[in-house]
Copies of this chain bind each other. A is one copy, B any other.
Amino acid sequence: MAKQLNSYLHKVQYYETDQMGVVHHSNYIRWFEEARTELMDAIGFGYARMEEEGVIIPVLSVACEYKSMVKYGETVEIRPVIESFNGVRLTIRYEITDAKTGELRTTGESKHAFLNRAYRPVSLKKQHPEIYELLLDLMENGVKAEK
Chain A residues with CB under 8 Å of chain B are 13-15, 17-22, 24-27, 29-30, 33-34, 37, 46-48, 56, 58-66, 69, 72-73
Contact = CB atoms under 8 A, between A and B. Distances in A.
Contacts of A65: 60-61
Contact of A29 (B20, B22, B25, B58): B25
Contacts of A19: 14, 17-22, 72
Contacts of A59: 25, 66
Contacts of A14: 18-19, 24, 33, 37, 47
Nearest to A26: B29
Copies of this subunit: 4
**What 9 A-B pairs have minimum CB-CB distances, sorted nearest first?**
A17-B19, A63-B63, A26-B29, A61-B65, A19-B21, A25-B59, A15-B30, A26-B30, A17-B18
10 contacts: A14-B18, A14-B24, A19-B19, A19-B20, A26-B29, A47-B72, A47-B73, A58-B69, A59-B66, A61-B64
A108 to B, nearest CB: 9
Nearest to A17: B19
Contacts of A33: 13-15, 26
A107 to B, nearest CB: 9
Nearest to A19: B17
Given A33-B13, A37-B14, A25 B73 contact: no
A147 B33 CA distance: 33
